[in-house]
Chain A
C-alpha cells in the first residue's frame, strides 16, 4: 500500500521539524474567551513545537517576530492561531515570501471567527487546543509546493452599462481591451432616468451623455446592448464566456436614426428609446409589431430585419467587472400602501417622468394630466424592516433624492405643498446637510413619522394616515400624488451571474466584498471585481469612485500578465488505467494516455472528486491526502470529542460571516477545511468516527452544479459505508449568504449528536455495570 510508505516517510521526517506556533491575542478579541496560556501549556510535551503568544500578530511588530524566528532558524514551519485565513493569510504569506519559506509551510488556524467570536467560555479551550494540535499534525507532514503560473488574457468584460459600468470601462480602456455589455437596448442605466442630481442639482443627462458617447467612440471598448452572460467557462484569468444577444431587429451600425420607419409604422412599434440614447438606433417592440413590413420598405439603409433571432457569441477574457446595479423593491407586498394605484408612484417612476426617458414631455403630472398641488413623499418604504416583508438595510439615497424632488416641485410651482414623511433624516456626506437646510428653506413640510396607511380615493386622490411622532398626534392628509421611496435591491440576474463566476453574495443579495472596509471592490474570486449599487445602494459619487477603483484593481490584476494558481492538485502515483477518475472529473482535467490517467493542471480546479473515484486509491490531492486528514482528525479529537464539520471554502466564508455577526453556536463544532466535500471517502469519515467524533457534517457552499449535482450520491454512499459506527452523519448545502441557516444547523446537529453520544455513553456504562454485577 502506498499509504504505509508515505506514513513511515513522514514519521522519520517529523523528528527534524521545527514548528513555530504563534497564537494571537487580537487585543482581547481572542484572549478574552480563550485561555491561550493553557493552550500553549498543552503543547509543551511536543518537542518539535515552540509556542509564542503575542498581541496583534498582524502588526509589523508581530510580523517581525515571526520573520526573525524564521531567519534565525528557530522555526521552519509556521502555524498561526488567529483570525480567518481569508483575512490575513496573504499578510502572513508575505512574511514567508520575504524569508524564503515555502508558502505552504505557513498555515492559519481560525480561532477568532470560528471560536472566540462564536462560543462562550464553555468548552472553548479544549476546542482551540484540538484545533491547534490538528494544525500541528497537519503541518508536520505537509510538503512544500510551488504555485503554478498561468498566462492571463488581457481583456475585460464589464457587465452593466450604467454609470458604474461606463466609468469602469472608460477608465480601463486606456491600456486594456474592454467588452461592455448591457441588458437594455441603450446605455445609461438608472442614471439616464434621473432628472437632476443632488446635491448640486445639475442635470443628469448633461453629465452622463458625454460619457456614453465616449464609450461608443472609444476604440478599445466593444459595446453590446441587449446582451447578457449565458455561460462562464474556464478559470480566473482565462475565462471563456458565452454571451446571449437578444434581437433588436434594427442593425445599429446601419441605422442613421432618420425616423422614416417610425413614420410608416401603423402600430407605433418602432421607436428611438430617447433622444440622447446610445447607441443611436431605432428598435422594435415585438409585442406591438404586426409584422406588416412597412418599416423594412421605408428604411433607406436596409437596416431592419424582422426575422432577426437571438444570437450567441463567445469571448475570452481575463477578468470581469460586475456593475449590474439595482432595481426598486416591489412595493405591492406591503399591503397598507395599496400600491399600485393612480397617482401613487415609486420614486424611480417619478424620477423618470422628469428625465430624458420621460413619456410626458418632462412634465410633472397626475394620471389625468393635471399638476399635483399636494405631494407626499414616503421614505423607508420597504426599508429598515426586520420582519422579512421588506429589506433590513437603509437604502441610503432616498433622504437626499426625495428632497431634490421636493425642490423640483417647489421650483415648478412655488405654492405647491410638499410633505416628506421620514423616520430619520440621514444627510451625512459633503454638502448634504446644506442641501437639507436649503430644502427646509424652500418651505417643504417635514413630518417625523412613518405612513401607516395610504387609501386611494375614488377621485384619484390619496388619503394617508400617520402619527406625527414629534407631537404624539395622529394625523390624516389628502394628497394629489404620493411618491414611495422604495428599498433598492440588486437587479434581477445578479445571483445567476455571481453563481456563474463563483462570487458569493451577502444575505442582503448584494455582492460580498473581499473585505468590507479594506478591499471594497474585490470579490472572493480574484479575477472578478464589482462597482456601484451591486455592492449596496449608493449615490452617483460613490458609484463613480467604485468604478474608478475597480478599473484600477483590474488593471493591476491584468498588469501582472501571469496568475498564480494553487499547487494543490492531484498526484497520480498508481494507475491501472481503469478510467474511473477520468470519468469522474467534471472539468475534463484528466485524460487517459497510454493506459494511464494524466492530469492537465491548468484545467484542474483541485476539487478532489477524483480521489474517491479511483478504485485502487492511487490518487491523492497534494497536501490534502487521506493520511494528512487522518493525522489532523486524530489530533483535533485527542483533546475532547466533538462534531467534525468538513467545510468547503464557500461555506467557510459563511462561517466567517457568522463569526463577524457573533452568531453563537455549540463549541462542539470543529471545522476541517476541504477543497470540496467530494474529496472525502469512507476512509476519512470512518477515521473521524474512530478517533471520537460524535457526529460528522459535510457542509457544501459551492454553487457549481457540476459538483452539487453529485452531492446526494456522495452523501448516500458515505452514509452506507459509515453505518457501522451508528453515529450521525449529515450533508447540507449552505450558500455564503446563509450564515444564519448554517449556525442553526450546527446547533441542532451538535445538540442531537451530543445527546446521542451521551445516551450511548450511559448505555455503555450500564452495560459495564451489568457486566460487573454478573462477574
Chain B
C-alpha cells in the first residue's frame, strides 16, 4: 500500500518544500500526456476514457492481489498519464492473460491487451525489475531453442536475480528426480525461427515510424465497413 498514490486535499501539504519530500501525490509533473495520448490512440485505448471504475476486472482477476495496482487502477492511471508508475508497476508483468477482465468489462475495455501494449513500452524505456527480467529471459530462451527449456530459464534467471539462490535446494531435488532435464530440447530449423523474429522486429520498428498515418487510414476503412 505504501507505494500507492495518495491525493492530498490538504492544501498545507502542498507547500513547495513538502512536495519534494512526498513522492506519493499526483502533481502536474507526474502526468505524461504524450504517453497517455499514445495509449488512448490505439484500438484498445479508445475505450479507456469510458471506464466507470466498477472493479469487475480486479474482482475477476486471479492474480490482482499480487499486483502493485489492480487492473482497474492501471486503467485509471492511463487516463491520467502516470507513465512512471505504470511502467514500473509489476501489474503488466504479472497478468496471466486469462482474459477474464476483458470478457466481463461492461465498457469493452480490454485490460489484457492494454498490458500487451504497455510491456514493449516498458522494455523500450529500459525499465528493469524482476518480472520484466523473467519475461525477457523466457523469450530469449524460446528464440534460441524454439522450446521453453525450464533449466535454461531457471539458471539464467538465477544469475540475474540473486534472491533465487534460496530456491537452489528445491531446484537440485528437481534435477535429481529427473523433473528438470539439463539438456535443452531443441527444435529443428532454429535459423528460420530467428529470421521470423528478426522480420517481426523490423516490422514493428517500421510500423512505429509510420504509426500515426497508418492508424488513421485503418480506422477510416473500419468505419466504412
List A residues at the B interface (Cβ < 8 Å). 336, 380, 384-387, 390, 423-424, 448-453, 465-469, 472-475, 744, 747-748, 751
Contact = CB atoms under 8 A, between A and B. Distances in A.
Given A387-B105, A467-B72, A336 B60 contact: yes
A472 B224 contact: no
B1 to A, nearest CB: 8
24 contacts: A336-B60, A380-B106, A390-B106, A449-B56, A450-B56, A450-B59, A452-B56, A453-B60, A466-B59, A467-B56, A467-B58, A467-B64, A467-B72, A469-B55, A469-B72, A472-B4, A472-B73, A473-B65, A474-B61, A474-B64, A474-B70, A475-B59, A744-B225, A748-B225
Given A451-B59, A453-B60, A747-B223, A469 B53 contact: yes
B54 A450 contact: yes
A769 B223 CA distance: 36
A452 B50 contact: no
Nearest to A465: B59
Contacts of B72: 467, 469, 472
A384 B51 CA distance: 11
B225 A452 contact: no
A424 B52 contact: yes
- Max chain B Cβ within 10 angstroms of own Cβ: one of A387, A465, A747: A387
A212 to B, nearest CB: 39
A472 B56 contact: no
A3 B52 CA distance: 62
Nearest to A473: B65
Nearest to B104: A336
B107 interface: yes
A390 B107 CA distance: 11
B37 interface: no
B59 A472 contact: no
Given A450-B54, A452-B100, A467-B59, 20 more contacts: A336-B104, A380-B106, A384-B54, A384-B106, A386-B106, A423-B52, A423-B54, A449-B54, A450-B56, A452-B56, A465-B59, A466-B55, A467-B64, A467-B70, A468-B55, A469-B58, A474-B59, A474-B61, A474-B70, A748-B225
A751 to B, nearest CB: 5
A525 B219 CA distance: 39
Given A465-B59, A474-B59, A747 B224 contact: yes
B129 to A, nearest CB: 20
B150 interface: no
A469 B54 contact: yes
- Of B58, B59, B104, chain A has the most CB atoms within 10 Å of the CB of B59
Among B54, B100, B105, B224: residue with most chain A CB under 10 A = B54
Contacts of A336: 60, 104
Interface in B87-128: 100, 104-108
Interface string B139-158: 00000000000000000000
A756 to B, nearest CB: 14
Nearest to A464: B59
A386 B108 contact: yes
B55 A450 contact: yes
Interface residues of B, number: 27
Nearest to A451: B59
A751 B54 CA distance: 40
Given A386-B108, A748-B225, A380 B59 contact: no
Contact of A472 (B54, B60, B70): B70
B99 to A, nearest CB: 13
B198 to A, nearest CB: 38
Contact of B107 (A386, A468, A473, A747): A386
Nearest to A390: B106
Contact of A380 (B54, B65, B73): B54
A335 to B, nearest CB: 9
Nearest to B54: A450
List the 3 closest A-B pairs by CB distance, nearest first. A452-B59, A467-B55, A467-B58
Contacts of B70: 467, 472, 474
Interface in B70-88: 70, 72-73
Contacts of A450: 54-56, 59, 106
A751 B106 CA distance: 32
Nearest to B100: A452
Contact of B106 (A385, A449, A453): A385
Contacts of A748: 224-225
Contacts of B52: 384, 423-424
A537 to B, nearest CB: 17
Given A467-B72, A474-B58, A747-B223, A452 B104 contact: yes
Contact of B108 (A387, A744, A747): A387
Contacts of B55: 448-450, 452, 466-469
Contacts of A472: 4, 58, 69-70, 72-73
Given A469-B72, A474-B65, A386 B58 contact: no
A387 B109 CA distance: 9
A380 B107 CA distance: 13
A512 to B, nearest CB: 25
Contacts of A467: 55-59, 64, 70, 72
B38 to A, nearest CB: 24
A369 B137 CA distance: 59
B119 to A, nearest CB: 22
B155 to A, nearest CB: 34
B105 A751 contact: no
Interface in B31-70: 50, 52-61, 64-65, 69-70
Nearest to B105: A387
A63 B50 CA distance: 41
A474 B67 CA distance: 11
B106 A387 contact: yes
A584 B102 CA distance: 54
Nearest to A422: B54
A473 B108 CA distance: 22
Contacts of B223: 747
Contacts of A469: 53-55, 58, 72
Which of A390, A452, A465, A744: most chain B CB closer than 10 A?
Answer: A452
A449 B59 contact: yes
Contacts of B73: 472
Contacts of A475: 59
A390 B53 CA distance: 17
A744 B224 CA distance: 7
A472 B3 CA distance: 13
